[in-house]
Amino acid sequence: MTICPKCKKIYKRNRPHICNCDRKNQPMTIEIRYELVGVVVKLLERGFKVVFASCDTYPIYADNPQIKSTTIMVELGDLYPEAMLEGLPPDWMQYEYHRVANDIISEYKYTGLSCTEYHPVGESDEGSIDFTKMIMLSNLESWLDDRAPESFYAVWRLAGVLM
């Protein structure tokens, strides 16, 4: 699914496309997983540029598929100061990444957020994994709820990001 960063309309299409909400600026939708809609909307409301969001669960070992790992990643479209994301909830971390296009690695750095949780045998069934994802996401949503959108916009203005 995709979401428009401007109007927050959700589309069932799996590939990014141009949203009709603003014919002048033609915003491109963002590819996200349905579980991440709440987190992505809260980040967008606080002025962050979200470019991609994923939530995937995989077996860790080929010989023991019952031990799994869930990773949630939110890639942002700019390099944000660490202080803007200080005090992230437990297990969440901020990282830097480079985009790759046409086999060329961009020199510019971008900020991402991620959280990984391991599911041992006995906690790797679908219900346990869904519950863990809900906890991981609600922790980040609560952290964002504790930070008013207006405070982020004030910092963006002071930093010269918004005029």
Q: Is residue 104 in a domain?
A: yes
Tokens of residue 40, six digits: 């992505």
37 part of a folded domain: yes
pLDDT at 110: 93
**Structural domain includes residue 25:** no
Count of structural domains within the chain:
1
Asked if residue 7 belongs to a domain, the reply is: no
At residue 149 the predicted structure's pLDDT band, cuts being 50, 70 and 90, is: confident
Average pLDDT over residues 84-90: 89
* Rg (alpha carbons) of the chain, rounded to whole number: 17
Which position has the token pair 């750095």? 109
Per the structure block, which two tokens stand in for 13? 């299409």
Angle between helices 126-145 and 37-45 (to 10 degrees): 10
Q: How many CB atoms lie within 10 A of CB 153?
A: 15
Could you give the CA distance from residue 49 to residue 66 in angstroms, rounded to a whole number? 36
pLDDT for position 161: 59
Residue 163 pLDDT greater than 50, yes or no: no
DSSP state of 34: G
**Residues 8-53: pLDDT tens digits?**
999 887 788 888 888 777 788 898 988 999 999 999 999 899 999 9
Q: What is the mean pLDDT of residues 65-79?
A: 92
Which tens digit of pLDDT belongs to each residue from 43-67?
Answer: 999 989 999 999 999 998 878 888 8
- For 101-147, the pLDDT digits (tens) are 888 888 899 999 999 999 988 888 899 999 999 999 999 999 999 88
Asked, for residue 64, whether it belongs to a domain, the answer is yes
